[in-house]
Structure 1
């Protein structure tokens, strides 16, 4: 959430193993009291690590939550050589540096069914279901998002999270290495149904444009069979895998997490036919600007190399 970057990596040379660890100092106890979103973010970073390892011709042998006594240790990745076939993962590598969250309007062009199927398969490879709400279900989902946005506007804790993790008047040249800078807020929504979080909150932002967004937004829901930390880690990896593949397919995307921050609003997002599954993240996808890159902490802050 909010580009907090709540991850740490530790590499053990002797064991050829990475640890992916949670940085709970970057948690958001109000908006994310259980740490679900923190797990999703760290898992997205884990997926990027797996892709990079595969790109280097090695196999990323991954274990989730390997030590129940160490809540910060989310996963280990052991580099194995020679590698089994990791070409599907490795093919995603160019998208790691291309993918950005885009908070600009998208075109009304429909995403082809073949692309839907490919994205759903990418999620399935991580044990996660990706679905695309349509018709009355989409309308229900959009209403649920509106309810969440209305709550967030009047919720002091949500506003405090925004103030902590957003940077008004930050340009690409002077933006801090964390949080969402003003140049990445995107325009204010003047019209359309696209669900857009306003990162300005109650604050006034000078010279910010307004724009009409999509009348027919295209949303994708990621769901897991259960709702435990291991499921959150699977969902975060699936989320990033879907976004990387979407980038290679020419799509832009952004996150729609507002209703997932309210437990009672998560359930209406479930599959309306089966009523099963635990929604973990919603994505807004479409054809349009790719969005600007946001800052990242330097490697020296997030990577510790051990003998």
Structure 2
């Protein structure tokens, strides 16, 4: 078997590849890593091809002899790149893959931006059957289109596709900096969207933790997943007959409740709580289907997410560098 990976240099890719290569299940597989601006370190059983996913000749070269694809390459809010990378790139991959003699499975890593995460309302849990409702911006739109393209290639050509839809992916100390008030803040929302500059300065100068409130006035509930759990789900779905033609929500068993998170940090690390009203919606990404069908269960809950982020100590060779904000 031969697996093509796109996005191998990203957060998920860097965690997935060593787990895949060390797995007994996949010990006889080889890998092709299609890289563009950044390139992974050479490894045994891994062929590296450098070039753009939007270039037909590069995609054709990378796809030679491939049996499986794990597509993770993406750009965020970059309108000048969104169509070429996310739409044209996905189309070229699918077109090449459907014509391969030994094509077996195409796995897409998508995001809960396709269901609007905290920006769109849902009357109940967000399941795989919920309506797709992107939030404003090109990134969410491209994820909707990628999911639909893979779905339609199943109808058009019988292609075996599987989508893993993940919310905000955490690793290392990400969650700590997602709750930071200073310039070191990782991801969103930007505090200046909800607070005055003076309030932001006050909170950044002290030891505060944000307690976001949803538009109903209750604690915001927002979905997250640890990268290790997403990697475990990808390994569980790869070459799994139960994943044929399926879409799975891959998230923590419960969304993060900002009141619970803030109270935990107040109790364990003496933070002061800053309540912040927002127009955001509380949503619950339901992972029941993945747990039942893939025999997968996330291991990182809220306490583990917080403890892991606050206890993480970076090596000097591992500076905090954010390729994509959020």
Q: Which has the larger radius of gyration?
A: 2
TM-score of the pair, normalised by structure 2: 0.26
TM-score of the pair, normalised by structure 1: 0.27
